[in-house]
Amino acid sequence: MRAVVLVGGEGTRLRPLTLSTPKQMLPIVEQPMIERVLGHLADHGIEDAVLSLGYRPDAFTGAYPSGTIGGVRSHYAVEPSPLDTAGAIRFAAESADIDETFVVVNGDVLTDADVSALVAFHRLRGAEATIGLTPVDDPSAFGVVPTDQMGKVEAFIEKPPRDEAPTNLINAGIYVLEPSVLQRIPREVRVSIERETFPSLVEEGTLFALPSDAYWLDTGTPDAYLRANRDLLLGRRAGPPAPGAQTDPSIGPGVWRIGDVDVQSGSVTRSFFGRGASVAPNAIVEDSVVGAGAMVEEGASVIGSVLLPGARVASRATVEGSIIGPGAIVGQRCIIHALSVIGAGAVTASGTVIDGERVVEGV
């Protein structure tokens, strides 16, 4: 079976990290998000995928010149202009000559959902399209999908007020589609599958949905991006947090590393260190990812945060609940907290307090 992977968005909610790097290329515990998405598809027998690209397609083609991502043969379909979800699906599927049942996933959603079970359900029901569903506490930011007892979709309600949502089951961004769906989508124009294509299928009774309690996370915000890293550290998903990672209790409880690291501090717990990462004596690192070559200097504190490769936290600085971009420098005695995002290569001046801000350049 083949797949279409939607990766065309600009990732505006994760700026400034995404000013130079597409969201799906950001690492989740040292492994690019797109590799995790396609690796999951490979686990369910999908051997071939086409990526629907829009924003910075060169980042994907440059990183994977062989055309294999996460064990899946991958092709690239670069949209000439933004086509929205349905338009992008048709453009990508036709560019790859897909003419049989296929899977569609969003490239910024991490999930353990059973794609094989979704395909089997789709075929059992004789559906034209089938949506994977996931429960959430607040469905108001998503497409809500009530169904009957057979799984036939009764309505597709996009972002209803929380107190008016008929269910907490939302569109999980995983679809199984028949080629006939493509003919319902106008070619080369912006078309939303959630607002236009799916409602038309509801009217004809050919849209089904299957709920799943499996792990699911839309990584599109700083909070969700941090949570994706933390969930892997805390074992909320099966297996090691990254390929090649090994536990190292000699550093601290719940600690993982890849390759050689230089961690001198005895105050390190539930964290991950990429190759060449270093932590000075009297520094504190808790519930955090310290990427390859990143540094935490004397007396600094990094808690519940992600330091991307090459980042540096200078002496006596504090980083809490925040993301420090690749090559960025947090100056001495700085305080970075409250979901702040420091962009690639940015330098914060000594003693600065950054509270829930986005820093593109030095301050």
pLDDT digits (tens, 9 = 90+) for 93-134: 999 999 999 999 999 999 999 999 999 999 999 999 999 999
Distances (CA, A) of 247 to 238, 252, 279, 321: 14, 9, 17, 23
Condensed to tens digits (0 to 9), the pLDDT of residues 35-63 reads: 999 999 999 999 999 999 989 999 999 99
Residues 216 and 250 in one domain: no
| Pair (173, 303) in one structural domain | no
Q: Do residues 204 and 100 share a domain?
A: yes
Domain boundary among the residues 220, 251, 286 is at 220
- When pLDDT is cut at 50, 70 and 90, the band that residue 158 belongs to is confident
Please give the model's pTM, rounded to 2 decimal places. Answer: 0.94
Do 54 and 157 lie in a common domain? yes
| One domain for residues 173 and 258 | no
Residue tagged 């440059």 (tokens):
62
> Is 141 inside any structural domain?
yes
Q: How far apart are CA 124 and CA 298, in angstroms?
A: 61
Q: How confident is the model at residue 9 (pLDDT cuts 50, 70, 90)?
A: confident
- Is 81 inside a domain boundary? yes
Query: Which residues make Cβ contacts (< 8 Å) with residue 198, sequence separation at least 6?
Result: 129, 131, 143, 153, 156, 207
Domain span including residue 63: 2-220
Model confidence pLDDT, tens digit, residues 255-307: 999 999 999 999 999 999 999 999 999 999 999 999 999 999 999 999 999 99
- pLDDT tops 60 at residue 172: yes
Residues 84 and 202 in one domain: yes
pLDDT band at residue 200 using 50, 70 and 90 as cut-offs = very high
- Same domain (yes/no): 78, 194: yes
Output the CA angle 338-339-343, nearest 5 degrees.
125
Instruction: Please count the structural domains in the chain.
Output: 2
Q: Residue 130's pLDDT is what?
A: 98
Cα separation, 206 vs 193, whole angstroms:
14
159 catalytic, yes or no? Answer: yes
Instruction: Give the active site residue among 13, 73, 159, 195.
Output: 159
Residues 256 and 189 in one domain: no
Q: Of 188, 220, 252, which residue is a domain's last?
A: 220
The answer to the question of residue 164 being in a domain is: yes
Residues 205 and 103 occupy one common structural domain: yes
Task: Give the domain CATH number at 345.
Answer: 2.160.10.10
Domain assignment of residue 65, yes or no? yes
Indicate whether 253 and 294 sit together in one domain: yes
Please say which residue of 165, 187, 220 terminates a domain.
Answer: 220
State whether 114 and 75 are in the same domain.
yes
Q: Is residue 103 part of a domain?
A: yes
Residue 363: pLDDT over 70? no
For residues 84 and 238, which has the higher predicted lDDT (pLDDT)?
84
d(CA 81, CA 254): 46
Helices (H) and strands (E) in the chain, counts: 7, 34
Q: What is the dihedral of CA 317, 320, 325, 331, to 10 degrees?
A: -10
Report if residue 253 sits inside a domain.
yes
Specify if 267 maps to a domain: yes
Q: Is residue 228 part of a domain?
A: no
Higher pLDDT, 158 or 103: 103
Instruction: With a cut of 60, say whether residue 33 has pLDDT above it.
Output: yes
pLDDT given at position 362: 62
Quote the mean pLDDT of the chain.
94
pLDDT of residue 20: 87
DSSP states of 104-143: EEETTEEE---HHHHHHHHHHHT-SEEEEEEE-S-GGGSE
